[in-house]
Amino acid sequence: MTTPQRIACLSTEAVEVLYRLGASEHVAGISGYSVHPPEARAEKPKISGFSSMKLERIQAVQPDLVIGFSDLQKPLLDECAAAGLATLWLDQRDLAGIHTMIERLGVLVGREAEAARLVNSLRATQAEIAESAAALPWRPRVFFEEWDDPLICGIGWVSEIIQLAGGIDVFAERARAGFAKQRIVSHDEVLVREPQLILGSWCGKKFVPERVLARPGFAALNARLAEIKSADILAPGPAAIERGARQVLAAIQATVVGVKS
């Protein structure tokens, strides 16, 4: 495949990876939800949301490739393809998938060595987190709340991060579900699993602990509540490992020793 010179990135992690590989010049446009790295948001035109776009804004940056992620962005890529644009659909759902995605983008832009270094760095970070988790005297039960209404529990890589960082994901069996609607859980399902730590990462909006505690029965759990910004953990790229996983570890450590971080 010819190296694309102008890539429209509908997914935020693709932006982050291309910048980390030293290939920012290939990025023609970014999602409005892009946070990492901050210079991308300052330098590149915003061409889409996460699950919505206007084709003319994509076409305006004259891309020779459009990259998207997940089932939610697949229809957007289909629309781009119907308009004659080349597309690449990524659907990494676990930590190994994140590594593979980075390697794939490295090949795409001729930065294989840089991609290998980044993947090795992420693996070292994961090993460091696992080592710290191994020193914990016990493993707390963790409920990761990706959305509040309806309640949606954590996706695959988030569940894996919780386990890596020394916690027990109380909805681990739901994490591999292909669609968000398959990860909807009820208040009663949460209560019966008695989480000791509730991690809130309400995609695109601020986590409000008071709303959690106002739910019938939730205050009685005496669970610790902590927020992890969605940009730091809900995009399956380097930030989820370097930022999100470290924050999960800190929250679990604080829960185990009974102090607030």
| Within a domain: 41 | yes
CATH of the domain at 192: 3.40.50.1980
Q: Does some domain include residue 232?
A: yes
86 shares its domain with 179:
no
pLDDT at 199 over 70: yes
pLDDT of residue 219: 98
One domain for residues 84 and 141: no
Q: Are residues 141 and 53 in the same domain?
A: no
Same domain, 146 and 253: yes
- Rounded Cα gap, residues 193 and 202, in angstroms: 21
Q: Furthest-apart CA pair in the chain: how many Å?
A: 59
Residues 87 and 145 in one domain: no
Give yes or no: residues 159 and 65 share one domain. no
Ranges assigned E (strand) in the chain: 7-9, 27-31, 46-48, 65-69, 87-90, 141-148, 151-153, 168-169, 197-200, 224-227
Is 65 in the same domain as 142?
A: no
| Domain limit, last residue, from 91, 124, 151 | 91
Q: What is the structure's pLDDT at 261?
A: 41
**Average pLDDT estimate for 22-37:** 96
**Residue 118 forms part of a structural domain:** no
Q: Is residue 198 part of a domain?
A: yes
Confirm whether 103 is domain-assigned: no
Structural domain ending residue among the three candidates 58, 91, 124: 91
What is the residue-averaged pLDDT of the chain?
Answer: 95
Q: Is the pLDDT of residue 23 over 60?
A: yes
- Is 181 found in the same domain as 84? no
- Portion of the chain with pLDDT greater than 90, in percent: 91
> Does the residue 73 lie in any domain?
yes
In this prediction, residues 203-220 reach a mean pLDDT of 95
Q: Give the Cα separation of 39 and 43 in Å (integer).
A: 6
pLDDT at 260 over 50: no
Query: 252 with 155, same domain?
Result: yes
Of all residues in the chain, the percent with pLDDT exceeding 70 is 98
**Residue 17 φ/ψ, nearest 5 degrees:** -65, -45
Residues 149 and 249 in one domain: yes
152 lies in the same domain as 50: no
Q: Where is the domain boundary, 28, 56, 91?
A: 91
69-107: per-residue pLDDT in tens? 988 899 999 999 999 999 999 999 999 999 999 999 999
Residue 170 sits in which domain range? 137-257
Comparison of pLDDT for 101 and 257, the residue scoring more: 101
Residue 1: which pLDDT band, with cuts at 50, 70 and 90? low
- The total domain count for the chain is 2
DSSP 228: -
125 in a structural domain? no
Token duo for residue 114? 């840089």
Residue 23 located in a structural domain = yes
